[in-house]
Amino acid sequence: MKEFYIIAATGCPTGIAHTYMAQEALEQAAKKAGVKIKVETHGQIGIENELTDEDIKLADAVIIAADKDVHAERFINKKIIDVSVSQGIKNAEKLIADAIAGKGEIHYSAESEKVEETKTEKNGNKIGHKIYKDLMNGVSHMLPFVVGGGVLVALSFLWGIYSAEPGNVEYNQFAATLKDIGGLSMGAMVPILSAYIAESIAKRPGLVAGFVGGLIASNGGAGFLGGIVSGFLAGYVIVLLGKVFAKLPKELDGLKAIFLFPVIGVFITGLAMHFLVSPMNAVNESMMDFLAGFQGSSPIVLGIIVGCMCAFDMGGPVNKAAYVTGTALLAQGNFYFMAGVSAACIAPPLITGVASLLYGKYFDPNDRNAGLVNIILGSTHITEGAIPFAAKDPLRVLPIMMLGSSIAAVLTYIFKVQVPAPHGGFLVLPIVTGKLAWLGSILAGSVVGGILLGELQKRKSRK
């Protein structure tokens, strides 16, 4: 008798932690259920453990646990269970059981080789998840540009704040070159975001229209909000054009891809963005000014907002909203906002580490070891390591994480710390303005949160 065979694909926006945590959870759940599984990962370094045509042909079920595009159109005539990457981590055993039970929907048919709208996709949650996946596909491709460019710009400040200005006594040719290179990388942020949102919606034909729309948004000052609008606009313009030209002879498919879609898609998207860029610019600037305004007037309120957002879903959409806002402000030369975001993102895994160190005997060996590993993850700005702790008792653990992150962010804003790099954790400490204040702020939030988490675990253990 043929062994039941499941194939899966996992991917998260950053491609650092969630992707591989979901892979491990699904593999362990499949082993426990006694079925065979192969999990393809879409991480930041690319596709690993890639599914072959033979794998897809032999598969009895498909699980997609991803918040980005994983090329699901490959799975023709296969029942697909499509969930967020966090569900792949939290509910791996249920997903495997559902796959064995034959649950899921066929989204792609051999006849049309196009997405078929299914009953489940009419569900609001499914539509919302699709929009989120399209958005996160853009964010995941944008992040390397932001991180690479941001760190290079930050390194240029090692020679002085004005080291890239030729007329200043601090001017240094190498520092100026670093800042120019980093600035170009950061400048590509919005076009790349827009291009890959459109690519997620309309595949490769959407890429060029999305990129051009993103350039218009970036040059017009509409920022990342404009990039999001242009990405979705370009993607659906190409989808609409596909329907309009659907009845053209098959022989003209090449003409559609290389001529009709790029020319008409770029024209419609560009023309629409030409009119949208001004109001989007006003909205973008208002939002940035609103958040940045809290820095001086109400650092406590801003710190609480940022802390709660970053710790609420640790790598999810709420966390990413704060992070993307921070990177956008960073590109505008505001290094204060990102300091609080970084502190709030670093704190949750450190909280679990502190709890494991001070209250180790109340945790089981796996959690204790995970907490110690989280000290390393947190120190490098990887928030996702705290998810397993929160998943076990979210109603009590998440408020503790949010409190610890809020303390770290509030203190960071009070001390007016500046962090000119969007990622890296303590690795970017040499270029932080207010190093000791930043470290102290993060440690304060982590210790308070760690003690509360430890006391919670102590009570649960005694019961």
Summarize pLDDT for 396-426 with one digit per residue, the tens: 888 999 999 999 999 999 988 888 776 667 8
Q: Find out whether 171 and 48 touch, Cβ atoms under 8 Å.
A: no
Give the Cα separation of 387 and 459 in Å (integer). Answer: 21
Average pLDDT over residues 345-350: 89
77 φ/ψ angles, rounded to the nearest 5 degrees: 60, 20
What's the pLDDT score for residue 97? Answer: 94
Higher per-residue confidence, 293 vs 434: 434
251 φ/ψ angles, rounded to the nearest 5 degrees: -65, -20
Tokens representing residue 152 in the block: 């290079």
Q: Which amino acid is at 289?
A: D
Run of H or E residues at 455:
helix 435-462
Q: Vertex 429, ends 428 and 432: CA angle to 5°? A: 95
Q: Which amino acid is at 379?
A: S
Q: Find out whether 401 and 351 touch, Cβ atoms under 8 Å.
A: yes
Residue 389 pLDDT > 90: no
Give the Cα separation of 102 and 80 in Å (integer). Answer: 9
Q: Vertex 127, ends 86 and 5: CA angle to 5°? A: 55
What's the pLDDT score for residue 111? Answer: 56
What is the number of other CB atoms lying within 10 angstroms of the CB of residue 176?
A: 16
Q: Vertex 153, ends 149 and 156: CA angle to 5°? A: 145
Q: Which residues pair with 42 in a beta bridge?
A: 47
Give the Cα separation of 409 and 429 in Å (integer). Answer: 16
Q: Find out whether 67 and 132 touch, Cβ atoms under 8 Å.
A: yes
Does 345 qualify as catalytic in the annotation? no
Residue 171 gets the label, from left (phi > 0), alpha (psi -120 to 50) or beta, of: beta
Looking at the domain covering 5-122, what would its CATH class be?
alpha beta
Report the candidate in 108, 106, 83, 97 with the shortest Cα–Cα distance to residue 10: 83
> At 293, is the pLDDT very low, low, confident or very high (cuts 50, 70, 90)?
low
Chain centre distance of CA 129: 14
Q: Where are the domains of the chain?
A: 5-122, 125-283, 298-462
Q: Which listed residue (12, 308, 310, 345) is catalytic?
A: 12
Most confident of 42-46, 113-117, 281-285, 301-305: 301-305
Most confident of 153-167, 286-300, 383-397, 398-412: 398-412
Of 204-208, 273-277, 376-380, the one with minimum mean pLDDT is: 376-380
> At 384, is the pLDDT very low, low, confident or very high (cuts 50, 70, 90)?
low
Q: Find out whether 374 and 350 touch, Cβ atoms under 8 Å.
A: yes
393 φ/ψ angles, rounded to the nearest 5 degrees: -155, 65
Q: What is the dihedral of CA 445, 450, 452, 457, to 10 degrees?
A: 160
Residue 120 pLDDT > 60: no
pTM of the model: 0.66
What is the number of other CB atoms lying within 10 angstroms of the CB of residue 358?
A: 15
Distances (CA, A) of 99 to 36, 62, 283: 12, 7, 44
Q: Any idea how long the chain is?
A: 463
Q: Find out whether 392 and 407 touch, Cβ atoms under 8 Å.
A: no
Q: What does the DSSP assignment read for 169-208?
A: TT--HHHHHHHHHHHHHHHTHHHHHHHHHHHHHH-HHHHH
Of 136-145, 162-171, 279-288, the one with minimum mean pLDDT is: 279-288
Q: Which residues pair with 38 in a beta bridge?
A: 7
